[in-house]
Structure 1
Amino acid sequence: MLKGILSISGQPGLFKLVAEAKNSIIVESLVTGKRMPAYSTSKVSSLEDIAIFTQTGEVALKEVLKTISEKENGGEVAKLDGKALKAYFGEVLPEYDQDRVYTSDMKKVIQWYNLLQKSNLLNLEEEESVEETSEEEK
């Protein structure tokens, strides 16, 4: 689901990994569709590796996105701010660590969810079928 989807600090939106070059990677913006190089000096994070802090540990971003999708019935999340955003995030992930998860982090997760939803990159059913297949093989 999130494989090959990247966040680059200092750049708005999300990017899809297109190719690897000698000193960089080539990414394509999910917002504009333009391609550009991302160099090793940029802080690049794969959404697959991101997790949200909870009181007991961490929850993978894909699990949070899955919960948001279930709550919204596959639709987009309306813009929220301040207390409404914290209340919404409390419904989606009740055990999130309120000291380490900032409002800006919550906004980013909601923005990412909406962007992935618009780009039809939230293939939750596909993810579940892959997990079921791997469990059956064991």
Structure 2
Amino acid sequence: MSLEKILSISGKPGLYQLKTQTRSGFVAESLLDGRKISVGARDNVSLLSEIAIYTLTEEVPLREIFSKIAEKENGGPTINHKVDKVALEEFFFEVLPDYDEDRVYASDIKKVVQWYNLLQKNGITDFSETEEDETAASEEE
């Protein structure tokens, strides 16, 4: 499974997998505990495939950062997201040396690390671009 169906829902912990659409929104399943929830159109929802991290030169898609973490950790889990701020920043600097320290906060790094470990735990390790992403990127150029 790719990141196309993985969601972050504001105000709810963890990540969710999009299951089906309903008349008033959609149904999502938690990757933390497997519970299904109904998500309305008013909820603030982000697709992981649409999230990017600021660097000094550009925005790097989250999928690329996950790929770099996987490469660094040989496909396994990484550090715990509960380590102190300095350890998180040192780790992220190894993964993405030119990230913008003024615009990427420790809380953002914490989320990225937590999400990566959650995806690993659930066997979602394909961080490559889908054909839709490649088509959209070529259309933008």
Asked if TM exceeds 0.5, the reply is yes
SS of residue in 2 equivalent to 1:117 = helix
The offset of 1:81, in angstroms, is 1.8
SS of residue in 1 equivalent to 2:60 = strand
The one-letter code matched in structure 1 to 2:101 is Q
1:72 is matched with which residue? 73
Moved over 6 A (4+): none
Q: 1:83-98 alignment to 2 at 5 Å? A: 83-98=86-101
Size of the aligned set, in residue pairs, is 130
1:113 is matched with which residue? 116
Give the TM-score normalised by the residue count of structure 2: 0.87
- Select between 76-85 and 31-40 the one with higher mean Cα deviation: 76-85
The offset of 1:77, in angstroms, is 1.2
Structure 1: gaps spanning 5 or more residues: none
Q: Distance in 1 between matches of 2:99 and 2:88?
A: 13
Q: Match for 2:84 among 63, 81, 84?
A: 81
1:12 is matched with which residue? 13
The offset of 1:18, in angstroms, is 0.3
Q: 1:1-138 alignment to 2 at 5 Å? A: 1-79=2-80, 80-124=83-127, 127=128
The offset of 1:12, in angstroms, is 0.4
The offset of 1:57, in angstroms, is 1.2
The one-letter code matched in structure 2 to 1:103 is A
Q: Distance in 1 between matches of 2:33 and 2:6?
A: 15
The percentage of aligned residue pairs carrying the same residue is: 49
1:16-66 CA distance string (max 9 Å, x none): 000000111100001111111111111100000000001011000000000
Note the aligned Cα RMSD (angstroms): 1.6
The offset of 1:78, in angstroms, is 2.1
Structure 2: gaps spanning 5 or more residues: 135-141
- Select between 6-15 and 33-42 the one with higher mean Cα deviation: 33-42
